[in-house]
Amino acid sequence: MNRSPPIPRLDVANPYPADVYISPVNLTANGRAHLGHAAGPFLRMDVLQRHLKRAGHHVRSGLTTDGFENHVLVRAARENIDPSDMAHGFHVEILDDLASLSIVFDHFDDPAHGNNLRRFTNVSKALMDALYAAGSLQFRAVRLPMDDAGSAATPKEERFCIGAWLGATCPVCGASAGSFFCEQCGHHFEPDEALKPVSKRGRIVDWADNISAHLSILGTDRLLRSWYDAAVESRFLEIGRRYVVHKGQQIRVTVPGLHGLPWSSRHFDTRQILFSYSSLLYAHSLYCGDKDAEGSGNPSPFSRDSDVFLISATGIDNTLPMLVGVAGCALGQNSFRPFDRVFFNHFLLLDGSKFSTSRGHVIWAGAIARTPNMSVDVLRVYLSEICPEDTQTNLVPSQLVDRYNALLDRISAAIDRCTACINAMPALTECSIDGTMMITLDRLYGKQCAVLSLDHLRVSRASRSVIEWVDYLEATPDLQTAYTWLMGFSVLAWPLMPRITGALWHWLGHEGHPLAACASTPSSQRSGPVPKIEGRRLATAELIAAFQETS
């Protein structure tokens, strides 16, 4: 199902509600979730799923953390703690970090923890067995570096200097790189293709052949066609095209290792685990789909015969893992489906430099949300506006505070004027909708739906309709104007500002979440205290604590 679910006009019930499942790329559980994560794929997908629910679609979502990724082992070794325990601890903190910004998923699991591991193992084995049965796996030896960090008793699998232990120069763009990927140009390379390889934990002393499984997609341009079907934008398509020119429609799907999900084959000469940036990455989504199926009683949305619309999102550093690793695994077998839409974003910088946990150059999502008297709703609007969709963007604390205060002042004043007018009335029995205002609201809703299109998503422009609606309100409104404005604000702003809009929606007598189809449906019942935006104006100095909070 590649056709986007339809978005009806304002006030029109959705005659063709679609089933939609959203599963962004997992977060590596070697640290908490910072604003670079939150303001990228996760806020984008939260806004998108609220927009689709507002339009009447049936939307579900799932997210995981990856406790098997090599960077987890590196940090656990550095801190001399058990990697599984550390990863689960960070999973809990990541969940809290995202939830503090009202970014929520129907399921958010640590697949490697407790009883979840059995489900994760089963879906991973089903994927690999399906790839093998379809003839999409090749078993070949690749030269891997070995370093002197261990001893004679160290298992061979742990002596390979791969993943986060490997430093190198990218063979394509010449930038400093590591692991299997270059964050500068996005290229994926094998260690023996890298320039100037070095060990980050010792000294490379030897190279040895190791047989791993590699995915190989048959059929000319199958990957490229799938990327077009998924509406992948040109900047990211080019990264994928360049890789295919260099290396073809293939990528490794296993690596030697002891900490991870194993997959056995008579072809291997060492224990092999699923590669975090291809088979394991797709397995995380399949895990989410299996968990969704358990809750709904329906087949997994990733089943080959499912008509659920599948959406994923990630940052530019995961371009090839998604375009080749995940899409390739989806195309290379006959049991599971590819995503219908894949959205990528560039990096969000902090004061001109990339967010970095190791350098302490970071703001944790939960830390900024816990700033005293911070309005999470207003913060979400600001973060949406600097979402790095077209290019990398820069979070400057002083600019954040200035924009935050301006938004808070304008939006709070408009809400307070309207709620004061309505609260002065004993009941809403004679309230009606202003038809002229509805024409403006319909236009603004249409503009917002256009920028939240599944064919060209631009969350960074979603606040424009909200601000125009705020500025539409002049002087002191009468009852009809106040009621219409609050209803319109609840519908327009809900994807960005769920707390205040949900409170207003219920105060005006409606159930559930704001629905576009009910934008002109008056209610005669007002309930509860008068809603107000939680928070007050900020000073830049108040963000210092968020900067100083460590993981």
Summarised one tens digit per residue, pLDDT across range 210-236 is: 999 999 998 889 999 999 999 999 999
Task: Name 95's Cβ contacts closer than 8 Å, sequence gap at least 6.
Answer: 108
- Indicate if the pLDDT at residue 2 is higher than 70: no
Task: Supply the pLDDT for residue 128.
Answer: 98
What would the two tokens of residue 512 be? Answer: 């559930």
Residue 539 CB burial class (10 angstroms; 0-12, 13-18, ≥19)? exposed
Fold of the 19-345 domain: Rossmann fold (3.40.50)
Q: How far is CA 381 from the centre of its chain?
A: 17
Residue 429: pLDDT over 70: no
CATH 1.10.730.10 assigned to 375-518 = yes
Rounded-to-integer distance, Cα 311 and Cα 294, Å = 19
Closest among 69, 78, 62 to 25, alpha carbons compared: 62
* End-to-end Cα separation, the chain, in angstroms: 41
- Is beta strand 250-252 parallel, antiparallel or unpaired with respect to 204-216? antiparallel
- 225 - beta bridge partners? none
pLDDT in tens, 473-531: 988 899 899 999 999 999 999 999 999 999 999 999 899 999 999 998 887 677 788 99
Cβ neighbors of 335 (< 8 A, separation 6 or more) are 126, 127, 130, 303, 304
| Mean pLDDT for the stretch of residues 446-462 | 97
pLDDT of residue 428: 61
Where would I find the H helices in 359-427? 365-369, 376-385, 397-423
137: β partners = 215
Model pLDDT, residue 282: 98
Report percent pLDDT > 70 for the chain.
97
Is the CB of residue 420 less than 8 Å from the CB of residue 475? no
Nearest CA-CA partner of 252 in 286, 276, 232:
276
| SS3 assignment, position 500 | helix
Answer yes or no: are the C-beta atoms of 182 and 173 closer than 8 Å: yes
3-class DSSP assignment, residue 313: strand
CA 483 to mean position of chain CA atoms: 35
Please calculate the CA angle 409-411-413 and round it to the nearest 5 degrees: 65
pLDDT for position 514: 96
Distance from C-alpha of 286 to C-alpha of 434, rounded to nearest angstrom: 48
Amino acid at 113: H
Q: What is the DSSP letter of 497?
A: -
pLDDT at 62 over 60: yes
- Give the C-alpha separation, 492 to 501, whole Å: 9
Which one is predicted more confidently, 365 or 283?
283
Residues in the chain: 551
Q: What is the DSSP letter of 232?
A: -
Q: What DSSP assignment string belongs to 168-203?
A: EE-TTT--EEETTB-TTT--B--GGGSEEEEESSS-
Domain ranges of the chain: 19-345, 375-518
Mean pLDDT of 287-315: 95
Looking up tokens 């193992």 gives: 121
Torsion of CA 119, 125, 129, 130, to 10 degrees: 40
Kindly provide the b/e burial profile for residues 179-216, where b requires at least 16 CB atoms within 10 angstroms of the residue's own CB. bbbbbebbbbbbbebbeebbbeeeebeeebebbbbbbb
